[in-house]
Amino acid sequence: MPKRLDNTVKMRWAHVPRLMALLWKVGRRELTVVAALALLSGLTPIAQIAALARFIDSAVPLMKGSAPVVSALPWLALLVVTHLFGHLVLRLSIWIQDNAQEALKARLQERLLEKAARLPLASFETPAYYNLLQQAQKALDEHLLTLLGSLMEVAPSTISVLGLLVYAAAGSPWFPLLLMLGTVPAVILRVRLMRTMFLVEREQLPAERSLSYIEDLLVSRPAAAEIKLFALQSHLMGKRLQLYDSLAETRITLESDRVKQGLRADFFQYLSFGAVLIGVLSRLAHGSITIGQCAGNISAILEFQRSLVTLFWRIAVVDNDTRYIADLFAYLDLDEISVAPKTMDGEAAASKAVKPVPEIRFENVSMRYPGSETDVLTEINLTIRAGERIALVGENGAGKTTLCKLILGLYEPTSGRILVDGEASTGVSALRGRGAAIFQEFMRYEVTVRENIGFGEVTALDDGARIRAAAARSGVAATIDGMPEAYNTILGKSFDENGRDLSGGEWQKLAVARAYFREAAVLVLDEPTSALDAKAEVVIYRQFEEISAGKSVLLVSHRLGCTKLADRIVVLEQGRIVEQGTYSELLAQGDVFARMYAMQAQWYV
Amino acid sequence: MKTLSERLRFSLGHVLHSSRFLFLGVLAVSVMGGLLPLIQIYVTTNLINEFAYDHIHSSLRSPSFFQTPSTLLWFVLLVGAVWLNGFVQACHPYFTALVRERAHRRLHDIYFRHLLSLSLAQREIPSIQDKIQEARHGVRVLPQFWTDATLGLLATGLGLVGILIAMGRVSWVLPLLLLGVSIPVLQWSIRGEEEFQEIYSIQTPHKRQLDYWRRLLTDRRSVTEVRLYGLEPYFRANWLTLTQELLKELRQGRLKNQGKYFLEICFSQLGFAIAIVILMFAARQGRLDIGLFVALIYSLKQYDDMLADLSYSMQLAVSKWTKIGALHEFLKLSSDETHGTGSAPVGIRQGITFENVSFRYSGSEVDSVRSVSFCIRPGERIALVGENGAGKSTVAKLLLGLYAPTSGRIIVDGVDLSSVDITDWRRRVGAVFQDFMRYSLTVRDNIGFGRLERSADDEALGRAAGASRADEFIAEFSGGYDEPLGKEFGGRELSYGQWQKLAIARAYIRDAEVLVLDEPTSALDVQTEFDTYSQFQAAARGKTVLLISHRLGSARLADRVLYLERGALLEEGTHDELIAAAGPYSHLYLAQAEWYDGGGETEMVTVDA
């Protein structure tokens, strides 16, 4: 199971350089512009303060009547220009940042999707990996933008803090020293506070998850019926309140700690502020600095304090968000499908594929899902002759679906070989593209009818005649012709209010048409009727002969009566083949299959 | 305007109700924060005048710092004012956090109570589901709206007014000029934001489309088929094209606003420059001294910053305001659950009668159940059969008192259910729903939820678990009944069949007189399916039972079969009667049964019932 790397503050921050490197890779231009603007906006406070000092100095003689108003105007102009500039830089960086953040997010999302396509399909069946995928998506959706925003602010705040120290040094070398002296304890206190908060938050996590579980139960629609029936309202509300109160108490304590520590940190800062102020004012009284310089110095210390607080706040946000970014990286680091070695070039592959329906042979094939400790399939030896129709039977979890996915080339066996026409298939590629399937959870694509069928062979999406032929074969053509826009009708109401809703049976026929549309060598029917009622089920099994013509077929069903349609029945139990034979052979044998069959058949005889 | 004041009263009422004094305290702290700029101007003026005395008067004073008590006073006051500002900034979050916590506690309680008071039929209406979600956001932002408004709007607003007053003492032109600059700036920035929000809201449906492409590529349920047919590049291209289109729109929207922002900045800075020139002339005329001059110049900078804060706070407030509206609307939604006062009959003697019962979901144009009439005798076992969407589950929910009939009556022992306290009736019934819950809690909760007062009684749990054969796997748990279940919290994950056994135990522990079993998914394997029915048979002994199934064979377990089609009752009778009648039920049954013809000679398994 992928380990979450958020154990310590230090390890979390280790993700920041990596994130920066990744961002640099996906958006060099944006980052450069943002960085340049950050530098400018970090420096503007100093320019503004310097201009203020000069302006005030130029204005003092006015009061004494020793100079005309005009003499101060150039400095006023400078003051106004620096502020104008400051505002423009700020606006500009907000503008560029908003654009850049969105663009960067989109590009990271693209990476996430590309990554998903490169993960072994089996990963999706492993809860740990699947959760990681969802967490990575959550990190991207909820935390990336605030993280980027804060990261982009850290630089200008730092520049401004440092710049102001340098500016203060022009007044006296003691000033920055005094300011630093007040800052260091403040930094220590705040860092300590951040660590406590992290630890408390981590402690709270289980209670928080329990709380949100109960709240989700209260809001969820499927739970509503049971909550009403069993009158669970007050029980769940009580439980919720108990959790909420304990969490709220901790949150309030934490908040008061934060205030206390903040005030303590402030105390040191104000102490140094007072000391510098005394220095500035005595120098003014001494006459060693002008009024303008004095005002400039005071503004500089105030601005310094402000930037420092901003900086800390930004860092706290980054600190919080990096926790989630860890998930993003853990996801991007997952193992990918090993690229199948190219044993033959395209030409040769094409000639090999000439045989329309191959023989598929499993030799000691075992399969284990990543992160799992037990095999789903153990040492399977099975030959499916060209055009043979096999029914797979067994309990839930016996490995039927896994076997189907191996034949479709969707999984690679953990050990053993799968031979296609006697050739060892070296990767999933040899079988991929040659299979079609109707799964238990077949898809209902909320796009056009044409696409719903054409997705079976996406390269032939524009071949209208072929799509119509497939629709006719699956018996859905009449329904489609009755729609106002026929094959261009949008299905489902999620994206188009005028979209057309279909019944379960109609959706199913589209799925069948999709399977027809692909000229497949192998067809898998994995409990294709479990979403259907009895009537629709009968219809689909009656079509079986036609559906399976000229293909090797693998049929998975719990309706054992239907298995008589197959040439051979294979019974799986806990990942092993325990029986195989024809329908009548197995019934005569009176073993596993016969027992199951009798159990079901008694309802009907 | 009426809704505005109503909504204000509604939202402020909730905050005040949960923490009246605390909120007033927050207000006081905010007012204090708002006064600071004025104090700072005053103190800075005096301080600079004291210290810059020789610069102005060219007369040499002794430059000792603490020479005059007034210098020390002004110094302490300035540091004090700055510190006070810091103090307000630091404490405000604490007090607002307290207000928020209390208001959240109260609002969540009200929200969930209201949610639970809605009828089940209401809960299933998509538009109400949307409202429920939006209102949940409203609960989150309502207290925040008020606490942020105090600091962001009140304190900033007061601060701005303070600076305007100080300016007004120099010349009446100054406040007018500054106001003339600020009001359009605020208007522009809010309008700009609104326009931009509009782009966002136009993009919302496209964003759902984007999410759809993304989910197809990453969702467990779709990824198998997507990979089988090699659809990844197609969906990724769709996603990418749409993303780029949306980003382009946003970029263009922003670009359009930049010119306006640029004008706005020039306009306000020009205003400030004119203000400074006025100050310079006033200073030259001796209407203000050097200290005040410096202080006012500085306060102009502050004014500039605070104006930006104010417009930002207003933008935030606008976005929260709509969410508060959603909460308000949601709480105004009244429950259509009617409560009679009578108590439900105990120990059913005559039976349950449906009299011309119809049911229609609100907003739907057709009845889901159409004028259905039938009787169930006490202890009778009824199988409800029909195609998907025929209304079987709706009939079950009507019987359980979870839906109320749109027309017609349901009568139990001569008593109309609509005159009965429906919660009392629900106490007499139990059900295992098709999508039964798998609570990620303990085994005890999973069974005990059927009857809370018995959840501490291990013996009762044991009986219920025994009846559903859940005891077999519970015995293997080290934690016994307190074993945590479900992967959410790292508990033990069970198979579908095991979860279902717990759901049956949950129904059983109720000691209900009427039991409903809504068809378990047809994805069950033979053994589990067989177990489900036989366990249910055992658990239901002596009770009135309603069984919904697609596997028509199991209907033979029932004393009587009801066949529904499009909400109407088409056939009624025993299995044999209906087969003999050769109606729609028998067609369906025979179609399923034909697969099993050849199995006659194999050994039979007896049903444990």
Binning pLDDT at 50, 70 and 90, where does residue A10 land? low
In the sheet with B514-517, reading across from the earlier edge strand, the strands are: B429-432, B514-517, B544-548, B381-386, B560-565, B568-573
SS3 B560: strand
Pick the residue from chain A with its C-alpha nearest to B516.
A229
Whether residues B224 and A527 touch (CB distance < 8 A) is answered with: no
Q: Give the span between the Cα atoms of A247 and A205, in whole angstroms.
A: 10
Q: Give the span between the Cα atoms of B359 and B403, in whole angstroms.
A: 8
Of the candidates A454, A457, A455, which has an alpha carbon nearest to the alpha carbon of residue A468?
A454
Q: Give the span between the Cα atoms of B384 and B396, in whole angstroms.
A: 9
SS3 B172: coil
Quote the pTM value. Answer: 0.79
Q: What is the mean pLDDT of chain B?
A: 83
User: Helices (H), strands (E): how many in chain B?
Assistant: 20, 10
Distance (Å) from the alpha carbon of B36 to chain A's nearest alpha carbon: 14
Q: Give the span between the Cα atoms of A304 and B559, in whole angstroms.
A: 85
In contact, A407 and A431? CB cutoff 8 Å: yes
Of the candidates A404, A435, A424, which has an alpha carbon nearest to the alpha carbon of residue A554?
A404
Q: Give the span between the Cα atoms of B454 and B467, in whole angstroms.
A: 16
Strands B544-548 and B381-386, bridge-based pairing = parallel
Is 60 exceeded by the pLDDT of residue B529?
A: yes
Task: Taking residues B206-233, report their average pLDDT.
Answer: 83
> What tokens appear for B101 in the block?
């916590």
> Chain-centre distance of CA A318, in angstroms?
19
Which residues are bridge partners to A573 per DSSP? A576
User: Please, where are the H alpha helices in A444-591?
Assistant: 449-454, 464-474, 477-481, 504-517, 534-542, 544-548, 583-589
How many Cβ pairs within 8 Å bridge chains A and B? 403
Question: Is this prediction's ipTM beyond 0.85?
Answer: no
Place of tokens 């810059």: B52
Considering only CB atoms, A560 lies closest to which of B280, B402, B526, namely: B526
Q: Give the span between the Cα atoms of B507 and B396, in whole angstroms.
A: 15
3 state SS for B209-258: HHHHHHHHHHCHHHHHHHHHCCCHHHHHHHHHHHHHHHHHHHHHHHHHHH
Predicted confidence at residue B274, as pLDDT, reads 93
Considering only CB atoms, A69 lies closest to which of B116, B227, B281, namely: B281
Binning pLDDT at 50, 70 and 90, where does residue B67 land? low
A337 interface with B at CB cutoff 8 Å: no
Q: Give the span between the Cα atoms of A219 and A216, in whole angstroms.
A: 5
Q: Give the span between the Cα atoms of A41 and A33, in whole angstroms.
A: 12
Residue B239 has phi, psi (to 5 degrees) of: -60, -45
In contact, B607 and B410? CB cutoff 8 Å: no
Of the candidates B453, B537, B528, which has an alpha carbon nearest to the alpha carbon of residue B494?
B528
Predicted confidence at residue B161, as pLDDT, reads 93
> Which residues have CB under 8 Å from B583's CB, separation 6+?
B563, B570, B571
Mutation site for A-interface testing, chosen from B55, B124, B499, B586 by largest number of A Cβ within 10 Å: B55
Binning pLDDT at 50, 70 and 90, where does residue B597 land? low
Considering only CB atoms, A446 lies closest to which of B123, B212, B595, namely: B212
Q: Give the span between the Cα atoms of B526 and B530, in whole angstroms.
A: 6
Q: Give the span between the Cα atoms of B592 and A474, in whole angstroms.
A: 21
Pick the residue from chain B with its C-alpha nearest to A398.
B525
Predicted confidence at residue B243, as pLDDT, reads 93
H/E segment holding residue A389: strand A389-394
> Which residues have CB under 8 Å from A338's CB, separation 6+?
A427
A302-316, A498-512, B57-71, B404-418: least confident range: B57-71
Distance (Å) from the alpha carbon of B569 to chain A's nearest alpha carbon: 17
In contact, B602 and A598? CB cutoff 8 Å: yes
Is 50 exceeded by the pLDDT of residue B530?
A: yes
> Which tens digit of pLDDT belongs to each residue from A149-180?
888 888 888 888 888 888 888 878 888 888 88
Neighbour tally for B249: CB within 10 Å: 15
> Which tens digit of pLDDT belongs to each residue from B129-140?
878 888 988 898
User: What whole-number percentage of chain A has pLDDT above 70?
Assistant: 91
Distance (Å) from the alpha carbon of B4 to chain A's nearest alpha carbon: 28
Half-sphere CA count of B208, side-chain side, radius 13 A: 9
In contact, A395 and B525? CB cutoff 8 Å: yes
DSSP secondary structure code for residue B374 in this structure: E
DSSP secondary structure code for residue B60 in this structure: P
> What tokens appear for A464 in the block?
């209208």
- For residue B51, the chain A residues in CB contact (below 8 A) are 281, 284-285, 294
Whether residues B229 and A76 touch (CB distance < 8 A) is answered with: no
Phi-psi category of B180—alpha, beta or left, where left has phi over 0 and alpha has psi -120 to 50? alpha
Regarding predicted confidence, which is higher, A22 or A532? A22
Considering only CB atoms, B599 lies closest to which of A227, A533, A587, namely: A587
Whether residues B530 and A229 touch (CB distance < 8 A) is answered with: no
Place of tokens 């069959």: A597
In contact, B144 and B169? CB cutoff 8 Å: no
Interface of A with B in 405-444 (CB under 8 A): 405, 408, 410, 432-433, 435-437, 439-443
Pick the residue from chain B with its C-alpha nearest to A400.
B525
Pick the residue from chain A with its C-alpha nearest to B47.
A281
> What's the alpha-carbon Rg for chain A, to the nearest Å?
35
Is 80 exceeded by the pLDDT of residue B85?
A: no
Considering only CB atoms, B266 lies closest to which of A84, A224, A437, namely: A84
> Which tens digit of pLDDT belongs to each residue from B410-466?
999 888 988 888 888 888 888 888 778 888 889 999 999 988 888 899 999 999 898
Is 90 exceeded by the pLDDT of residue B358?
A: yes
Considering only CB atoms, A259 lies closest to which of B47, B94, B551, namely: B94
> Which tens digit of pLDDT belongs to each residue from A533-564?
666 666 667 777 777 788 888 888 887 878 88
Phi-psi category of A417—alpha, beta or left, where left has phi over 0 and alpha has psi -120 to 50? beta
> Which tens digit of pLDDT belongs to each residue from A434-487?
888 888 778 888 888 899 898 888 888 888 888 888 888 887 888 888 888 888
Q: How far is CA B413 from CA A169, A553, B163, B358, in A?
A: 94, 56, 79, 20
- For residue B304, the chain A residues in CB contact (below 8 A) are 83
> Chain-centre distance of CA A161, in angstroms?
36
Task: Taking residues A125-153, report their average pLDDT.
Answer: 81
Of the candidates B366, B345, B352, which has an alpha carbon nearest to the alpha carbon of residue B562?
B352
> Which tens digit of pLDDT belongs to each residue from B250-300?
888 888 878 888 888 888 899 999 999 999 888 888 888 888 888 898 889
Considering only CB atoms, B525 lies closest to which of A252, A395, A595, namely: A395
Binning pLDDT at 50, 70 and 90, where does residue A244 land? very high
Place of tokens 């663009």: A103
Which residues are bridge partners to A415 per DSSP? A366
Whether residues B596 and A84 touch (CB distance < 8 A) is answered with: no
H/E segment holding residue A182: helix A174-219
Task: Taking residues A495-513, report their average pLDDT.
Answer: 78
Q: How far is CA B133 from CA A600, B109, B110, B313, in A?
A: 44, 15, 15, 25
What is the maximal distance between C-alpha atoms in chain B? Answer: 127
In contact, A590 and A393? CB cutoff 8 Å: no
Place of tokens 């990963």: A123
User: Please, where are the H alpha helices in B372-525?
Assistant: 392-399, 422-426, 443-448, 458-467, 471-474, 496-508
Q: Give the span between the Cα atoms of A291 and A283, in whole angstroms.
A: 10
For the four alpha carbons of B240, B243, B244 and B245, in that order, the dihedral sign comes to positive
Distance (Å) from the alpha carbon of A252 to chain B's nearest alpha carbon: 7
Half-sphere CA count of A334, side-chain side, radius 13 A: 32
Residue B123 has phi, psi (to 5 degrees) of: -60, -20
Q: Give the span between the Cα atoms of B425 and B507, in whole angstroms.
A: 15
Whether residues B388 and A504 touch (CB distance < 8 A) is answered with: yes
> What tokens appear for A577 in the block?
């083949």
Q: Give the span between the Cα atoms of A90 and A86, in whole angstroms.
A: 6
Predicted confidence at residue A530, as pLDDT, reads 60
Interface of A with B in 54-83 (CB under 8 A): 55-56, 59-60, 62-65, 69, 72, 76-77, 79-80, 83
Regarding predicted confidence, which is higher, B354 or B52? B354
Of the candidates A333, A374, A372, which has an alpha carbon nearest to the alpha carbon of residue A3?
A333
Considering only CB atoms, A439 lies closest to which of B47, B89, B224, namely: B224
Distance (Å) from the alpha carbon of B349 to chain A's nearest alpha carbon: 22
Q: Give the span between the Cα atoms of B342 and B339, in whole angstroms.
A: 9
Q: Which amino acid is at A34?
A: V
A10 interface with B at CB cutoff 8 Å: no
> Which tens digit of pLDDT belongs to each residue from B301-329?
889 888 888 888 887 887 788 888 889 98
Whether residues B526 and A294 touch (CB distance < 8 A) is answered with: no
Considering only CB atoms, A224 lies closest to which of B83, B123, B209, namely: B123
End-to-end CA distance of chain B: 68
Q: Give the span between the Cα atoms of B566 and B286, in whole angstroms.
A: 93
Q: Give the span between the Cα atoms of A520 and A387, in whole angstroms.
A: 11
Predicted confidence at residue A350, as pLDDT, reads 42
- For residue A302, the chain B residues in CB contact (below 8 A) are 82
Distance (Å) from the alpha carbon of B384 to chain A's nearest alpha carbon: 13
Mutation site for B-interface testing, chosen from A105, A228, A299 by largest number of B Cβ within 10 Å: A228
In the sheet with B407-412, reading across from the earlier edge strand, the strands are: B369-376, B352-359, B407-412, B415-416
